[in-house]
Amino acid sequence: MMPWPVALLSLCYAVMATWSGAAVWRIASGEVNRPVAWPLAWLAVSVAVMCGLPLLKPWARRLALAGSWLLLTLTLAVAAAWIRAGHPAIALAASLSSVVHVTVIRYLGRPSVKAIFVKSHNLA
């Protein structure tokens, strides 16, 4: 059985996949004029993680960890940009939102969670 935190994390990646899919659609339809590479790459990663985490695949756990590290870095970069722009309150909110990514990284790195992914991989 899948633990409920993994289910919530899968739901979070489903929201990210929907968001990036909408961005790809807006670019493809010509509504927005910007490169499609980043939204398309994030769509692929979030869909892979969204599908792999409920199946308890070890590669999905590693991909979710890498994605969380990337999101943590991007969130802190956005906070730094807001500081540079002279908006410390928005920067503080952005930096506090990085706690979500740190929590995901810590949860997926726990030995008991790793064991769930390894055990299900050995059963298949």
Residue 47 in contact with residue 36, Cβ under 8 Å? no
Q: CA-CA distance, 87 to 63, in Å (whole number)? A: 33
What tokens were used for 40?
Answer: 């398309």
Residue 117 in contact with residue 61, Cβ under 8 Å? yes
> 69: burial class by Cβ within 10 Å (0-12, 13-18, 19+)?
middle
Residue-wise pLDDT for 2-11, tens only, equals: 889 999 999 9
Residue 17 in contact with residue 50, Cβ under 8 Å? yes
Sequence spans of domains, the chain? 4-123
What tokens were used for 56?
Answer: 């308890």
Residue-wise pLDDT for 48-91, tens only, equals: 888 888 888 888 899 889 988 988 888 899 899 999 999 999 99
Model pTM above 0.75 = yes
